[in-house]
């Protein structure tokens, strides 16, 4: 039974007991179930599921900054394709600040503006649109032009999961 349903059921029992019975008149006999018994049942369910309720990351990712970052970069592609690929996988592109910190945990794909990694940070400068990329040494670059013609490597970020 999912954790939320157990909590909801236990809460409903306690609310029903306290609302239906005048203050001072609650006994184990009139309540039908004691608070001690409800706590015991809840503890039993939670203890059995405790290992499954710990945040974890999928294979091929590294836990960092409250999320799961792919350990390898994908081949260079355009912004639209990378965004869609991450989204279709239930993931997202990382922010520039996340990649700047992540580079101390693993090696980013590139070292210059043409092979630095794509981020989700986009901007508009006059009539030009662009996105920020981050290189392995921490250099950040503003990449301007048509999103469909600027090809850069990328990695996706998955949420922590209880699985």
Ranges of each domain in the chain: 3-53, 61-158
C-alpha 47, offset from chain centre: 24
C-alpha–C-alpha distance, residues 158 and 99, integer Å: 14
pLDDT at 3: 52
Task: Kindly indicate whether the domain formed by 61-158 is annotated with CATH number 3.10.450.
Answer: no
pTM over 0.75: no
Residue 142's beta-bridge partner residues?
132
Taking the C-alpha atoms of residue 147 and residue 2, their distance in angstroms, rounded to an integer, is: 43
> How far is residue 95's CA from residue 154's CA, in Å, rounded to a whole number?
11
> Environment class of residue 131 by beta-carbon count within 10 Å: exposed (0-12), middle (13-18) or buried (19+)?
buried
The phi and psi torsions of 44 (rounded to 5 degrees) equal -60, -45
What pLDDT is recorded for position 126? 83
- Low-confidence stretches of the chain (pLDDT < 50) are 1, 4-8, 13-15, 17-19, 28
CB 113 within 8 A of CB 143: yes
**Could you give the C-alpha distances from 161 to 15, 38, 68, 157, 158, in angstroms and in order?**
32, 28, 9, 12, 9
Per-residue pLDDT at 29: 52
**Angle, in degrees to the nearest 10, between helices 35-49 and 3-20:** 170
Q: Is 163 exposed, middle or buried (0-12, 13-18, 19+ CB in 10 A)?
A: exposed
Q: Are 99 and 105 in contact (CB under 8 A)?
A: no
């Amino acid at each position: 039974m999912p954790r939320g349903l157990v909590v909801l059921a236990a809460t409903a029992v306690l609310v029903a007991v306290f609302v239906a019975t005048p203050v001072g008149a609650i006994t184990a006999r009139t309540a039908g179930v004691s608070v001690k018994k409800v706590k015991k049942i809840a503890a039993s369910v939670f203890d059995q599921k405790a290992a499954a309720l710990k945040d974890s990351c999928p294979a091929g990712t590294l836990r960092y900054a409250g999320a799961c970052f792919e350990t390898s970069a994908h081949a260079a592609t355009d912004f639209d394709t990378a965004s869609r690929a991450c989204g279709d996988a239930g993931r997202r592109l990382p922010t520039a600040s996340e990649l700047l910190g992540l580079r101390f945990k693993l090696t980013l794909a590139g070292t210059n503006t043409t092979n630095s990694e794509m981020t989700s940070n986009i901007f508009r400068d006059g009539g030009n649109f662009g996105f920020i990329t981050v290189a392995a040494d921490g250099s950040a670059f503003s990449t301007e032009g048509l999103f469909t013609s600027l090809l850069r490597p990328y990695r996706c970020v998955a949420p922590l999961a209880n699985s």
